Structure 1
Amino acid sequence: MPTRWFRWLVSMMGIVLVAGFAAGPAHARDPLDRFYQQRPDWQPCHDGTLDAAGASCAGVLVPLNYSHPDGRTLTIAISRIAATDPARRRGVLLSNPGGPGGAGLQTMVTVQKGMTPDVRAQYDLIGMDPRGIGRSDAVHCAIPLPTMLFSSGFDVFGYARDTGLAAVLAASCLAGDIDKLRNITTRNTARDMDVIRAALGVEQISYYGASYGTYLGAVYTQMFPSRTDRMVLDSAVDPDRYWVGMYQDMGPINEYALDDWAAWAARHDDQYHFGATPQQVRAFVEDMIRRAAAHPVISLGSGYLVDEHTVPIMLLALLSNPKMNAGLADVVRLLSDGVDGKPLDVSKLKSKISGAAPEAAGMAAVTCGDRAAPRNPAWYYRNIEAARPTQPVFGAFANNITVCAYWPDPLEPATQVHNATPALILAVVHDTRTAYPEGVALHRDLSASRLVTLADTRIHGSFRPGLSPCVNDSVNTYLATGALPATDVTCEPDPEFFPK
């Protein structure tokens, strides 16, 4: 009898052990589960703009490197402006303001101004500081330059200066937390968006992205096609030309924009005294840049430099919206007086162009981490020289070398965007940041998309109050009902939007 019991006990133990080993892999823990199963702890934002909008803020934990989810983590800061009618709430609308490197916690405070009450009733509006930016574990470089973008100047000596500066800036960034820096990429931010989606308790996300944010949104549709709902991509980027080609495309359109502004300034010659014709105004600006090269202004207290490398960037910053025409005229006058030896009011100058470009560290991390740039300095200089005849002000910027020429190769290949995810793409014929052909190209890449073209307009970002009721109606109808236009649409701006 004891022998039979012993044999039975041994056989049962064997069955249990075999069953245990057989079942083990089916219950193995997914290392990403702890990220996907978290829930936000909403708290006050302690930010005047967000608090005034009734927003709340939270942090969402994500892996630094999704290939090693049990390793280091980052905390992504998000904001929420709740749907105005909880009974009609259908989901969340994430957002990105552009950049790359733009902080986005406050984005929906502005974007919601173009939304109808019907749309506001249906969505929680979600802002986000992308990884490595703002409150989301921001990256830093040892040299805190305000931008990684410069114009190369007028000759090979000026270009040599920028080549050296790019190398030094790259070294100053890479000397820090290189593991963190190299994981600040668009693909990882798209993965973060999917963790945020799960943390918010929804199966799909809707999205509004502007400028670089359209590239991020397009990458998300490629990586997580079943998780996308209603996608609005405003001032779209061509994924195949991101990012070197995208900057090259900015040269010709900003020359056009400068001429357009010059025509406005000529009409106000009694106030600004740049010239009575557009040609005289442009000549004044080009001469001012040459004078800045001969007599640069260095503000030791603020570290501000006014010369042929920085002036074109200041001009470009204010050409993206005709409502800034007067501000650009003020900047041209400040710069012209400064290079003529008059005292330069640096604080006033900075106030006019503040927020014009994302901080250098975050921008460098994303652009250089997404796609490798050409390494050979001669390649850039050939392009600069080829552009000069037709792009005398902006060709040396649009084709210039950057820190990415000295950056390590990306950890992952760039995403190839080609899918049939529905999306509403907005593109502006005279967009100074993302040239119109870029939006047309993204429309081809997203084969189920519709393209809304804003004609006859020099502006970056077309979904905004008062600019074009046609554009706003297309966006609001899509977000409210899910219905894309039956065909591509061309809209006109409201003439009352623009300064005379």
Structure 2
Amino acid sequence: MTWDEAGLRHFLTQQLTWKPSEFDDSLELAFIEVPLDYAHPSGERVELALSRIRAVDPRRRRGVLLSLNGGPGGDGGLGRLLPTRLAGTPPHEVYDLIGFDPRGTGASTRVEGEASPTTVPFDSRPPDSAFTAIAADMWERDQGCVRAGGNLRRHTTTANSARDMNVIRILLGEPAISFVGWAYGTLLGAVYGAMFGAHLDRNVLDSSVHPDWDWRQQFASQALAVRENVDLWAEWVGQRDRFFGLGDDAARVLESVEEVAAALASMGESASLRTAFDGVVGTLSAARGRWQELGALTGELGKATGDADAERARGLLAGQSRWRPGTAAGGLRDAVLEAVTCETEWPADLEVYYRDMRDFRDRYPYGFGVMRAQPWVAAFGTCTPVEPRPAITRGDYPTGLVVQADGDPLDHCPGAVAMAERLGHPLILVTDSGAHEIYRLGGNPQVDALVDAYLVDGELPPARVECPGEARPSIPAD
């Protein structure tokens, strides 16, 4: 699809009207229109919500810094609030900070789905007998997207969001934009560079999507990343058996974990306690500073299950994250995730998913690994995007940065390594860390300083720089 400036004249000549924000005094807000379908710009329109915080020093101003974080499509990201996280930093001195809710999200025209209930109890290790019901629940979720998403669903793509960014650039009167993208924002930034490289200036990609993986591969890689963190934690605990008493090597520690999981599952509460424990193991193993907490919790749960004390086990798990899928029907919900992830291929044969679910259930039980293998809405073929996701290539734009934690459980580290190699960008690697979204969001001063120096002064670090992550607990080894 080509960029037709003549056909887009109406959209490229809009006047931006900035107004004070009602929810944050530091922000100015504006709305613009973009075409639903860039191939037919005279058709339906989509509204985009923008935000701005002006540069502190107009004399040193070097343009605008657009930013985006969150999951596919911007799902769960800060959107228009993101500039507030960069306010008061060195880049704020020289850039207008620009945020936006991507198409389908927030205060922009939303892509929605009907909230559909789940009929299968949430289980991190579901039996084979539950697989068809899990698929049926996902079918209902997909049908809710079909009914409520309308034509916007198939037009909510990464390529269209990149085109939307270019409209934003033109309306801001800038020959080029600088960009910081975290998580899904890394993909959007890389696609923008491939499509509009002449208009991209300094760029930072933090917690990167793999340039070659489809969305199914990206999801599956999360299970591997979680397991790597769990294995590192188990190794560390095994080296401190006198303190934790869970076993003197990684294998024995994991045996203790599995004994607790099995005992929780037998406590007569379906699999809810085991599922909660599996989730906690996946979550806390990513946070190096909480490794002692996870070891202590495992030990206490072992005592509770040994005494058949279900109430004690429930109490120990009650303070931990207990995320679970929604069970209520009725109403509408955001469905940008279900739209954008349809832009790559998914198997239509449910048996492929069932095979992988068996594998992931056994190999990656922690952090809900089986969810990364189960059927997704895109398996049913009801949403055919208007175009495939563009290939990631290095456009004609300045060298940028890729930032990544080696244990990121949501965007697996090999994705960032591949992205840095593909684009020829230096890689800032945060070592021994399960952090996700690091620059200015993750509290790593060394990373912040390196990225600030690049964005403000154009200083590029060496091709690979390692920065330490959060320290492990200071418990001496045996």
Q: Which moved more, 1:372-381 or 1:225-234?
A: 372-381
Structure 1 distance, partners of 2:245, 2:12, is 58
1:73 Cα deviation after fit: 1.5
- Residues 1:434 and 2:411 aligned together: yes
Instruction: Structure 1 unaligned segments of length 5 or more: list them.
Output: 1-27, 299-304
Partner of 1:39: 15
Relative to structure 1, the CA distance from residue 70 to residue 459 in structure 2 (aligned partners, 3 Å threshold; closer, same or farther) is same
Judging changes above 3 Å, is the alpha-carbon distance between structure 1 residues 317 and 470 closer, same or farther for their aligned structure 2 residues?
Answer: same
1:289-328 CA-to-partner distances (Å, cap 9, x unmatched) read 5567667879xxxxxx947778756664565544566897
In structure 1, what is the equivalent of residue 217 of structure 2?
245
How much does 1:250 deviate? 1.6
Does residue 399 of the first structure (1) align with residue 373 of the second (2)? Answer: yes
Quote the offset at 1:416 in angstroms.
Answer: 0.7
Quickly say closer, same or farther: Cα 1:311–1:206, change in 2 above 3 A.
Answer: farther
C-alpha displacement at 1:243, in angstroms?
Answer: 1.3
Superposition CA RMSD, Å: 3.9
SS in 1 for 2:80: coil
Cα distance in 2 for residues equivalent to 1:463 and 1:344: 36
Is residue 489 from structure 1 mapped to residue 464 from structure 2 by the alignment? yes
Give how far 1:443 is off: 1.7
Deviations 1:325-375, CA, capped at 9 Å, x for gaps: 6897999999x99x9367979xx7697769xxxx7612111112x212111
Match of 1:450 in 2: 426
> Counterpart of 1:105 in 2: which secondary structure?
helix
For residues 439 and 294 of structure 1, what CA distance do their matches in structure 2 show? 41
Do 1:102 and 1:133's aligned partners in 2 also have CA atoms closer than 8 Å?
no
Q: Name which of 338, 362, 371 aligns with 1:364.
A: 338
Contact 2:124-2:361 at 8 Å conserved across structures: no
**Displacement, 1:493?**
1.3
Name the structure 1 match of 2:327: none
Closer, same or farther in 2 for the Cα pair 1:29/1:255, shift >3 Å?
Answer: closer
Same amino acid, percent of matched pairs: 31
* Whole-angstrom distance in 2 between the partners of 1:488 and 1:291: 49
Q: Does 1:459 align with 2:435?
A: yes
TM-score calculated relative to the size of structure 1: 0.77
Distance 2:352 2:96 in 1: 47
One-letter amino acid of the counterpart of residue 422, structure 2: D
Distance 1:292 1:173 in 2: 36
Shift of 1:233: 0.2
Aligned counterpart for 1:379 among listed residues 352, 355, 361: 352
C-alpha deviation, 1:154, in angstroms: 3.7
Distance apart, 1:437 and its partner CA: 1.1
- 1:480 correspondence with 2:449: no
Report deviation, 1:41. Answer: 1.6
Give the AA of the match of 2:458: G
Contact between 1:151 and 1:312, CA under 8 Å: does it hold in 2?
Answer: no
Find the aligned partners of 1:268 and 1:78 in 2 and give their Cα distance.
Answer: 51
d(CA) in 2 for partners of 1:224, 1:381: 41
Post-superposition CA distance 1:373-424 (Å, at most 9, x none): 1111111222333445543435423322211111423220121112244221
**Aligned AA for 2:418?**
A
Contact 1:252 1:391 in 2 (8 A): yes
Structure 2 unpaired stretches of 5+: 325-332
Q: Give the distance between the partners of 2:95 and 2:391, measured in 1 at CA.
A: 30
Determine if contact 1:151/1:313 at 8 Å carries over to the other structure.
Answer: no
Q: How far off is 1:36 after superposition?
A: 1.5
- Superposition map of 1:286-325 within 5 A: 286=258, 306=272, 312=278, 316=282, 320-322=286-288
**Is the Cα contact below 8 Å between 1:97 and 1:213 reproduced in 2?**
yes
The structure showing larger relative contact order (alpha-carbon pairs under 8 Å, at least 6 residues apart) is 2
| Count of matched residue positions in the alignment of Structure 1 and Structure 2 | 448
Q: Is the 8 A contact 1:84 1:120 kept in 2?
A: yes
Is the contact between residue 470 and residue 491 of structure 1 (CA under 8 Å) also seen in structure 2? Answer: no
Indicate which of 285, 289, 310 corresponds to 1:340. Answer: 310
Structure 2 residue 386 is matched with structure 1 residue 411: yes
Query: C-alpha separation between the residues in 2 aligned to 1:45 and 1:269?
Result: 55
Query: How has the CA–CA distance of structure 1 residues 107 and 128 changed in structure 2, closer, same or farther, with 3 Å as cutoff?
Result: same
Q: Aligned partners of 2:294, 2:145: CA distance in 1, in Å?
A: 32
CA drift of 1:472 comes to 2.5
